[in-house]
Structure 1
Amino acid sequence: MKSFFLALMLGFSIFASAQNTLVGTISNPQNTPLSGVTIRLPELHKETLSDENGTYTFRNIPNGSFKITCSYMGYETQTKSVEISQKETVMNIILTETIHQMDEVIISTAFNKLQSQNVMKVEHQSLKTLAQKGTSTLIEGLATIPGVSQVSTGTSIGKPVIRGLSGNRVLVYSQGVRLENQQFGEEHGLGLNDAGIESVEVIKGPASLLYGSDALGGVLYFNPEKFAAPNTLEGNFNQKLFSNTNGSSTSLGVKTSSDSFKFLARGSYNTHADYKIPDGNRVTNTRYNESDFKTALGYSKERFTSTLRYNFNKLDLGIPEQGIAEQTPTHKTTFPKQAVYATILSWNNTIFFKRSKLDADLGYISNNRSEFEDSDVANLHMTLKTYNYNVKYYLPKIGNFESIVGTQGMHQTNVNTGEEYLIPDATTNDFGVFGTVNFEWKKKVLQAGARFDHRNVTSIAHGNFGDEGYFQAIAKKFQSFNASLGFKTNIKKNVIFRLNFASGFRAPNLAELTSNGVHEGSNRYEVGNAALKNEQNFQTDLNLEYRNPHFEWFVNGFYNTINQYIFIAPNGIVTNGFDTYVYTQANAVLFGGEAGIHFHPHPVDWLHITSSFERVTGKKQNGENLPLIPANKWNNSIKTEFKSSKYLKDPFALLNVTYTFDQKNPSLFETKSNDYTLVNLGFGGKVTLGKTSFDVNLNANNLFNKTYISHLSRLKNEGIPNMGRTVVLGVILNM
């Protein structure tokens, strides 16, 4: 590892001499300069805004050919190639008006293309857009994206579900590194705070080619907050209030940048009492408190960029085992409860050569999890430490061919220091190599790749044979070869067609291999299976979308076969007063998709009508239903964007009606769920008073206080409803 760091520093010293500059003007077809346009050099991790004269400047640019992307609300996103071979290069760009939403650069895929150029259909959502919906938590906001749901325990714990797959089958990336937080547990949340996150990208389906094991079902890729524009100082204060939980979310951030150095820091604090159900009662001990701190330091020169990011998250959350019991508005958690301390340290470095580049992401993740049953002495205490790396070399472009080769790896240790053991002390080592190529001609793109992965899992024996908490030592090896092939074309000017074939895999986790005891979060005695094999899948994805200035529609379909699907099922035995559940395997299939429209008729372009439908079916080979399959959902929204005034900029009003169908096809140890309809309202805009401006959102969710129980709620078996009506007020003050 030391030699790798020295190589990075050596690369910096060699390539930090040139002083190239890229300048230009952004205007519309009438030659009117456009200010506030976002101009990016994605390959160089650089971004700036055009000034009041429409001009922009990038300094410290190396020689070579790069993509430049311009995006501006109401105008078509443009991507051009620019050749840098002299001290000053001029690139003027004219943007044309459009009613379409801005096209985004997708970071989570291999070649960082615009979404319209991408072989894979990736859902991109800014956190600002999710915030306009007034959701209480990050995962609740993600669950509004078609094809994404959540397994929830009240408001404090939520786990993402992508097309019926959850837990370790969904890989989460934050700050450019994979997030490891003991995600196998049903009562283990995502462990991320939305403060300091710019946007999220959702890959639905196997992404093992890029990410290796655990990307079987998909990837959530969180893009962190961007640095300030060069030579500026910015700050903002964000405050949200939640009526239902007497909750508060506070965030304060500051950031500044010069031409070479960049810095930002953000602190936040969330606190919530028990949530209320529609009859006015509170669900006891669903309260939680969360502190979060993020900071980043960036440095860039002509042929070298480096970004160091740090995130510390402290979570104190109650575990609701009492149902509707003590009624109190307190925010202080009581027993049983969890305390989670999570640290993410990431370091991204890029070295630019004349016609190629080397990108290296290094990460350290620590997840310190304690569980307290009836005292301040932790019964369960697990410390998970993960070191990972991801190194990619972008080969010189040859004609229309772009290609990448890379390697990824992980070293992970789990150590127990509490009285109880949920999983044993263990070490996991991953190593993978991959290559992918992208060929683009006219409006067509062909992308293919292959990857090989190897994983070693070793654990230490603990306890006495036959007793609860006994773990036999294991030494297991898992390996897999995977490939993908994707094709994208414009059938007509406004019609995009995508077809992808991809295989993926997931090695069984420690809980599945070794469990032997009562899992309090699941209220059952769980028994692992050391003979489990890799889950291996093959998925076909089809995407068809149409877009004209006033009407858009899309259709996504998928068929996913999974060999050796791992699941847990009761065996009819009662152990220590709990039903015994054993991990086993069977072949399975999941299929379904999403479809939707977006209508904004002329001349009333301020009116937006959207509607989407999502469906997924999951079955084992013997015809039995898979667990945790979300119910079908029909989501409808009407959004109006009013004309700005002197004091209110970009005002909007939003009406959302979501109908969730009944789930009549539960697994053997689930119960059926009834259908329900939720109505949500939202208003907002930017208020300007003199030189002071602030964004404001006012939302009323579950407006009619509907009593309902989500099929993926872990409180469903106790008959406890989800949250009743809540009003959310959010204010962002820009300084």
Structure 2
Amino acid sequence: MKFTLTLFFLLFLISTGYAQNGVIKGRIMANGEPLSYASVGIVGTRLGATSNDKGYYEIKNVPAGTVEVGASNVGYQTEKSTITLTAGGMAVVDFTLKEITSRLEEVVVTGVTRATEVKKSPIPIATISKKEININVNSNIIDAIVKGVPGVSATTTGPNISKPFIRGLGYNRVLNMYDGIRQEGQQWGDEHGTEVDQYGIERAEVVKGPASLTYGSDALAGVINMIPAVPKGVDGKLKGDFLTDVHSNNGLIGTSLGVSYNKSGWTYYLRGTQKRAHNYRNRIDGLVYGSGYREYNVSGTARVDKAWGFSQISATLYDNMQEIPDGSRDSLSRKFTKPVMEGQQDDIKNRPVVPSDELKTYNIGTLHQAIQHYRVYTHNQLILGQGNLNASFGFQQSRRREYLFPTLPDKAALYLVLNTLNYDFRYNLPAWHAIETSVGVNGMWQTNQSKDATDFPIPDYTLFDVGAYVFTKKSFGKVDISGGIRYDTRHLTWNDFYTGLDGAGFGQRVAATTPNAYLQFPEFTHQYHGVSGSIGATYNLSERLLFKANLARGYRSPNINEVGSNGLDPGAHIRYQGNRDFVPEFNFQKDFSFLAYLENLDVSVELFDNRISNYIFQARLSDAQGQPVLDEQGNLTYKYQQAKAQLYGGEFTLNFHPKSLKWLNFNNSLAYVKGLNKNDKLIEQYGDDAKYLPFILPLHFRSELRGTLRKSVGPYTGIYARIELDTYARQDKIYAVDNTETPTPGYSLINVGTGTSVKQKSGRVFCQLFFQVNNLFDVAYQSHLNRLKYFEYYQASPNNRFGIYNMGRNISAKVIIPF
């Protein structure tokens, strides 16, 4: 009886306590229409809600007293209101959110230790939203980022393999991240793409410049952080979207389904995607044999947000069957041919022509890559007073197989399994005299193994990486200052690796005691060290007029291919030779920016000068007669070199958005980078052929005219039409030693597009429609960073065209149905 009375009394006290709490409700509007799925919360607490499809929200159990209520949504300025709530009372707080017309107000998490407005960071950071990703219809997420961020380019091997470059630097110098976890999938390879579901990305953040301070090695050029969608919905109600995407040029068919559920601080999210495409087409080559692919993605997240902080666990599965283009042709008709025999029996110049029915099929050919990438990771935050402790862990496995034997389709030429454990600890100290300081430790442990295959470009290895840093920032009136310092160490080791031949003459891994065993990779152990850091400031001349300056020292240890390679990468058709004596790269970069976000136009000027010590680059090997060194299958040999280098240039943007013509946007950008080889001995020997660095994109100009109706037309809202000019100048400032690179003519492409959202009578969006035509006039061109440009077996051509050309005209349509 006592227990019952006590329990009743406690329940009475609790219910009385709740009865004393109040309710805040209201409506959120934007552009004269209800704004659904906007976030509303009590500042400084975990109390909050999400607006429904009519813009209404309700926050229950709000303690009595004076509280600050904030409303926010992606693409809109956050609004706050202070109210006094009586015990058991109710308050109505309505919000009208304004669209963010300036990227200065955007909040970023990449390259900093705490969420920071772009305008407060002296480091050049650019963002691209889901809206821009959808408008810039592309075959993969990297190509969408390239179109949306000046200064970013990509080396490509067909439409589904793009490796990002930032201001002339790529491969392991650009750190790819998925939701803050570094991507590890054999990034050293020319034809190794980014294993990410393009339809599941909500936004991307790009750091242009050394970001080694917060990320360690491999962020010498910058960071691309691909951030997946964060579900927003009404508590207790299932929410999701279905997407379908079709392209005319290569028959791409993409579909994606995502669903989310929120309840009492818990969030669950699941997405599945499939893409398939046949060979792409251009008017010079016709259908390009070996460029089709089939890709599947699954991702899921569970997250809980409470007063103590949050905890999240996520997993992704990526599976891609990617054809490998060979480039062999008939010498007269220039039609593509295909291998049907092995080894010395395969005469490249007398292969049969590919039948027409094999050029336009979704079946994956015998020559292909099979890539699986598995990832599971967790983000956690514990609030400790005015500070917080953050911990992230991730495990990922990359399985890469390349099949190149037409008579033995199940025999792998390359089979690599890479396991990586990522870890990251960071403590954000409580602010002290307005100084915000963070300390952290992060790194990775990694093992690579070659399985049953015939070629071994790199050895099995073990890598352990750890780095510690301190980062701080403070505002002095109109000046925001931030910077810090970091120390890294990386241990790389492998054991003796012997290879030999099996009974059929194929390569295989063998024991040291096997007769005629070849020691392809002698044992190696090395410790790399590096100190990096940055210091910079932003001067706010006014809210919309800023000057930025940043000095940064970056660090990168040599990757496994640069220091350890000694064999054929069969998918790239290249034999690599590394150098064990390579030392880490260090760079010192100076960034200066001027940003003006005015009433009728935005102007930005970003300039940089990047000096690199011990720069590592590929160079083609030639024999004493100046002819390229080839193996019996015609594969080229590249040997890595190391020298000093300098890159400088910048980006300029000028965007008009006249206040008197709110429907009009005229956006323009110009990007330029020049890369100089500072190896005096090489220049003395080869002259101007060795003057420049390889893989430098030429002057790039993009201009877009977009008109958007401000009012709805029946059920159609947000109707837009756009026309875009994409121009690349001729690139003749190349690394021409041994014909490593050849000049690339300039070209201009015209792209057009339109789109709209279709609303139901309730005001809820029924679907979004996007229609795009890229390369409207079907221009035949080769990007300077297109690897297929060099897939050529003849010294002469009947049509005077060499290598493989980029994609021709492509008509695409995308439909997104939210529910």
Q: TM-score normalised to the size of structure 1? A: 0.91
Structure 2 counterparts to residues 112-191 of structure 1, below 5 A = 112-144=115-147, 145-191=149-195
Please give the secondary structure, in 1, of the residue aligned with 2:541. strand
Name which of 673, 677, 682 aligns with 2:753: 682
Query: Which residue number corresponds to residue 451 of structure 2?
Result: 417
Could you give the per-residue CA deviations for residues 534-577 of structure 1, whole angstroms, max 9, x where no partner exists? 00011111111111222111011111111000112234343644
260-269 or 93-102: which moved more? 93-102
Query: Which residue number corresponds to residue 341 of structure 2?
Result: none
Query: Which residue number corresponds to residue 392 of structure 2?
Result: 361
Please give the secondary structure, in 2, of the residue aligned with 1:664. coil
Q: In 2 relative to 1, CA 97–225 (structure 1 residues): closer, same or farther, beyond 3 Å?
A: closer
1:37–1:70 Cα contact (<8 Å) kept: yes
Unpaired segments ≥5 residues, structure 1: 1-17
Distance 2:55 2:199 in 1: 33
What's the offset of the Cα at 1:255? 0.6
Name which of 413, 426, 433 aligns with 1:379: 413
1:68–1:82 Cα contact (<8 Å) kept: no
Could you give the per-residue CA deviations for residues 570-595 of structure 1, whole angstroms, max 9, x where no partner exists? 34343644554222210101111100
> What amino acid does structure 2 have at the position aligned with 1:356?
G
Question: Which protein shows a greater Rg?
Answer: 2
1:42–1:112 Cα contact (<8 Å) kept: no
Please give the secondary structure, in 2, of the residue aligned with 1:332. coil
Q: In 2 relative to 1, CA 339–610 (structure 1 residues): closer, same or farther, beyond 3 Å?
A: same
Could you give the per-residue CA deviations for residues 473-496 of structure 1, whole angstroms, max 9, x where no partner exists? 110100111111010121234211
Q: In 2 relative to 1, CA 318–194 (structure 1 residues): closer, same or farther, beyond 3 Å?
A: same
Please give the secondary structure, in 2, of the residue aligned with 1:572. coil
Distance 1:358 1:699 in 2: 45
Distance 1:424 1:366 in 2: 17
Q: In 2 relative to 1, CA 255–41 (structure 1 residues): closer, same or farther, beyond 3 Å?
A: farther
Query: Which residue number corresponds to residue 345 of structure 1?
Result: 376
Query: Which residue number corresponds to residue 615 of structure 1?
Result: 672
Structure 2 counterparts to residues 190-589 of structure 1, below 5 A = 190-231=194-235, 232-279=237-284, 281-323=286-328, 324-325=335-336, 326=354, 327=356, 328-374=359-405, 375-419=409-453, 420-463=455-498, 470-573=520-623, 574=629, 576-577=631-632, 578-589=635-646
1:99–1:550 Cα contact (<8 Å) kept: no
What's the offset of the Cα at 1:440? 1.5
Could you give the per-residue CA deviations for residues 603-633 of structure 1, whole angstroms, max 9, x where no partner exists? 2110000010000011111362111111111
Please give the secondary structure, in 2, of the residue aligned with 1:165. coil
What's the offset of the Cα at 1:197? 1.4
> What amino acid does structure 1 have at the position aligned with 2:670?
F
18-27 or 340-349: which moved more? 18-27
Structure 2 counterparts to residues 104-119 of structure 1, below 5 A = 104-108=106-110, 109-119=112-122
What's the offset of the Cα at 1:70? 2.7
Distance 2:47 2:411 in 1: 49
What's the offset of the Cα at 1:40? 7.6
Distance 1:187 1:31 in 2: 49
Q: In 2 relative to 1, CA 95–584 (structure 1 residues): closer, same or farther, beyond 3 Å?
A: same
What's the offset of the Cα at 1:675? 0.5
> What amino acid does structure 2 have at the position aligned with 1:287?
G
558-567 or 132-141: which moved more? 132-141
Distance 2:381 2:46 in 1: 9
What's the offset of the Cα at 1:120? 2.3
Please give the secondary structure, in 1, of the residue aligned with 2:497. coil
Structure 2 counterparts to residues 581-730 of structure 1, below 5 A = 581-621=638-678, 622=680, 624-642=691-709, 643-668=711-736, 669-690=740-761, 693-717=766-790, 718=792, 719-730=803-814
Query: Which residue number corresponds to residue 11 of structure 1?
Result: none
Please give the secondary structure, in 1, of the residue aligned with 2:142. helix
Distance 2:622 2:402 in 1: 28
Q: In 2 relative to 1, CA 364–98 (structure 1 residues): closer, same or farther, beyond 3 Å?
A: closer
Distance 2:46 2:222 in 1: 25
Q: CA RMSD in A?
A: 3.2
What's the offset of the Cα at 1:225? 1.1
Could you give the per-residue CA deviations for residues 335-374 of structure 1, whole angstroms, max 9, x where no partner exists? 3210001011110111111111101110001000001111
What's the offset of the Cα at 1:409? 2.1
Distance 2:612 2:42 in 1: 39
Distance 2:591 2:247 in 1: 39
Q: In 2 relative to 1, CA 201–319 (structure 1 residues): closer, same or farther, beyond 3 Å?
A: same
Distance 2:519 2:42 in 1: 54
Q: In 2 relative to 1, CA 67–575 (structure 1 residues): closer, same or farther, beyond 3 Å?
A: farther
Distance 1:29 1:197 in 2: 24
What's the offset of the Cα at 1:235? 1.8
Distance 1:627 1:688 in 2: 50
Q: In 2 relative to 1, CA 38–657 (structure 1 residues): closer, same or farther, beyond 3 Å?
A: farther
Distance 2:814 2:388 in 1: 42
Distance 1:274 1:506 in 2: 37
Please give the secondary structure, in 1, of the residue aligned with 2:807. coil
Distance 1:452 1:547 in 2: 37
Aligned positions, number: 713
> What amino acid does structure 2 have at the position aligned with 1:332?
N
Distance 1:524 1:46 in 2: 58
Q: In 2 relative to 1, CA 372–223 (structure 1 residues): closer, same or farther, beyond 3 Å?
A: same
Identity of aligned residues (%): 29
Q: In 2 relative to 1, CA 47–483 (structure 1 residues): closer, same or farther, beyond 3 Å?
A: farther
Distance 2:311 2:99 in 1: 36
Distance 2:426 2:779 in 1: 50
Distance 2:140 2:463 in 1: 31
Please give the secondary structure, in 1, of the residue aligned with 2:116. coil
Query: Which residue number corresponds to residue 3 of structure 1?
Result: none
Distance 1:645 1:224 in 2: 32
2:24–2:62 Cα contact (<8 Å) kept: no
Distance 1:542 1:40 in 2: 38
1:26–1:37 Cα contact (<8 Å) kept: no
Q: In 2 relative to 1, CA 368–199 (structure 1 residues): closer, same or farther, beyond 3 Å?
A: same
2:657–2:664 Cα contact (<8 Å) kept: yes
Distance 1:291 1:87 in 2: 52
> What amino acid does structure 2 have at the position aligned with 1:272?
A
What's the offset of the Cα at 1:259? 1.8
> What amino acid does structure 2 have at the position aligned with 1:613?
L
Distance 2:43 2:494 in 1: 42
